[in-house]
Amino acid sequence: MFDRRLIQYFDWGLLGLTILFGFVGIVILYSAVTAGAPGPQKMLCIRQLVWYSIGLVVMAVSFLFNYKMLERWAHAIYVICIILLIAVLFFGSYAGGARRWLILGPVSIQPSEIVKIAVIIILARYYSEHAYIGGLTLRELIKPLIFTLIPFVLIVNQPDLGTAILVILIAGSMTVFVKIEKRSYIYITAFCFISVPLILFLLKGYQKQRILTFLNPDRDPLGAGYHIIQSKIAVGSGMISGKGFLQGTQNILAFLPEQHTDFIFSVLAEEWGFIGSLVVLLFFLMLVVRGLSIAYGCRDTFGTILASGITILLFWQIFINIGMVMGLMPVVGVPLPFISYGGSSIITVMICIGILMNISMRRFLIE
C-alpha cells in the first residue's frame, strides 16, 4: 500500500529547483537559437519543451517506486545499457564525425548519457556490499574497474571523449567517497601518473589538438582555438550586468559556435553578465548541496552511495561545462545540466533528480 508519510517527506525544494532550472534553460535556449538564427532553429525550443515534459514524467516514475529495487536490478540495468552502447557501434547514426545515437522511430537516443546512471547504480550496489572502515583494497577494486572500463572503452570508440572522461570521474569520485585503503591509494595514484603518456599516445589526433588548444588557444585562432576564443570573448563582454536579453552580439552575429548545446553558458554570461551567471551558479550550488544532504541523511548504505553518485554526476557536468566555456578546461563536449539542448541529456538529468527525490522521501522511513 502507498505510505501517506511519503507525501509528508516529499522534497518540494528539489522539485522547485528543477522547475526553476527548466524555466531558465528554456529562456536561455530561446535566446541562443532565436537571435540571428534561421527559422528552423527556433523549433529547437519547442522540442526542448517536449523533452522537458517527457522528463517530468520520467522523473515521476523514478521517485514512485522504492529506490532499493535499483539495488536488486543493478546488473540487469547495467547489461542493458552496455548492449545499447554496443548497438551504437554497429547501428548508430553517424553525424559530426561520431557515431553516438540510436534511431528509434521518430526519436534518437544517446545511450552514453543513460549509461552514466547505470555505472552509478552498479557501483553503489557493489560498494554498499564491500565498503568498510579500513577502506577498499586493490583486489576489491578490480570489479569496479571492470564495470567502469567497459563503458569507457565503448564510449571512447564512438568517439565521445567528454562522456568517457565523465564516466571515469564519476567512478573515481564514488570510490574516493567510499574510501580506499591508504596503501592501495598510493599505488593507484602512482599508476595514474605513469599511465598519462600512454593515454596521450592513444588519443586521436583531434583529441590531442583540443588539449594543445586548451594550453594555447592562440596557436590556431581560426581553427581548433576558435571555440574557446569566441566563448571567452562572449563571457568577458557580458561584464557585470550583461548586454541584455537577446542582445548578445557574439550570439546574434553567429561568432559563438554550438551556442545552444556545449557553449550555452556563454550566451547566459554575455546577456546576463557576472550577476546573472553568479545567480545560476548559486542555483547549481544549492542543487549539489541538496544532493549531498540527501546522501548524508539516508539511513542505508546503498541509498547514501547512490545519492552521492548522482550528485557527483551533476557536479562534474556543471564543473566541466562551465570550465570549458571559460577556457579553464579543454573542449570535450559535456552538456550543462538542464540548460543545454538535447533530449538524452534532459532525460538523464530528470532521472537523476527523480532518484534523489526517491531517496529523500524514503530516507526517514524504517522498513
List pLDDT tens digits, range 209-257: 666 665 666 566 666 667 778 888 888 887 888 887 877 767 666 667 7
Cα 180 from Cα 186, distance rounded (Å): 10
Q: What are phi and psi of 109, to 5 degrees?
A: -120, 155
Q: What is the pLDDT of residue 1?
A: 43
Q: What is the pLDDT of residue 30?
A: 87
Instruction: Average the pLDDT over 306-332 and give the result.
Output: 90
The total of structural domains in the chain comes to 1
Q: Give phi and psi for 74, each to the nearest 5.
A: -55, -50
- Per-residue cell: 82: 552496455
Asked if residue 131 is part of any domain, the answer here is: yes
Instruction: Please give the grid coordinates belonging to residue 254.
Output: 553567429
Structure confidence at residue 364 (pLDDT) = 63
The answer to whether position 293 is within a domain reads yes
Question: pLDDT class for 122, splitting at 50, 70, 90?
Answer: very high
What's the Cα-to-Cα distance from 182 to each of 127, 189, 305, rounded to whole Å? 17, 11, 20
> Comparing 76-85, 124-133, 275-284, which segment has the lowest mean pLDDT?
124-133
- 294 assigned to some structural domain: yes
Higher-confidence position of 46 and 83: 83
Three cell numbers at 356? 534523489
- Averaged over 75-93, what is the pLDDT? 90
Half-sphere exposure of 205 (CA within 13 A, CB side): 1
* Alpha carbons 100 and 111: distance in angstroms, whole number: 8
- Would residue 5 count as lying in a domain? no
In this predicted structure, what is the pLDDT of residue 344? 86
Query: How large a percentage of the chain has pLDDT more than 90?
Result: 36
What gap in Å lies between CA 333 and CA 261, rounded to an integer?
A: 9
Phi (first) and psi of residue 101, to 5 degrees:
-120, 145
Q: Which cell goes with 191? A: 599508476
Q: Is 205 a domain residue?
A: yes
| Least confident range of 15-24, 25-34, 133-142, 191-200 | 191-200
Q: Where are the beta strands (DSSP E) in 12-58?
A: none
**pLDDT value at residue 194:** 82
Residue 51, C-beta contacts closer than 8 angstroms, at least 6 positions apart = 342, 343, 346, 347
Using CA atoms, how far apart are residues 182 and 241, in angstroms rounded to an integer?
48
Q: In this model, does residue 36 exceed pLDDT 80?
A: no
| Proportion of the chain in helix, strand, coil states, percent, rounded to 5 | 70, 5, 25
* ∠ Cα 161 165 169 (to 5°): 170
Q: Identify the domain containing residue 299 by its residue range.
A: 19-362
Whether 359 and 306 have beta carbons less than 8 Å apart is answered as yes
Of 179-193, 251-265, 318-332, highest mean pLDDT: 318-332
* Across 122-143, average pLDDT: 85
In a domain, 4, yes or no: no
This prediction has a pTM of 0.89
Domain membership of residue 295 (yes or no) is yes
Residue 36: strand, helix, or coil: coil
The CA-based angle 88-62-131, given to 5 degrees, is 85
**330, exposed or middle or buried, with CB in 10 Å at 0-12, 13-18, 19+?**
buried
Model confidence at 82: pLDDT above 50 = yes
**Residue 273: enclosing H or E segment and its boundaries?**
helix 264-297
Whole-angstrom distance, CA of residue 112 vs CA of residue 124? 19
What is the pLDDT at residue 97? 66
pLDDT at 42: 67
d(CA 123, CA 306): 8
Q: Look at residue 186 and tell me if it is in a domain.
A: yes
pLDDT(283) > 80? yes
pLDDT tens digit sequence for 158-215: 878 888 889 999 999 999 888 888 888 788 888 778 877 777 666 666 666 666 665 6
Whose cell is 599511465? That residue is 195
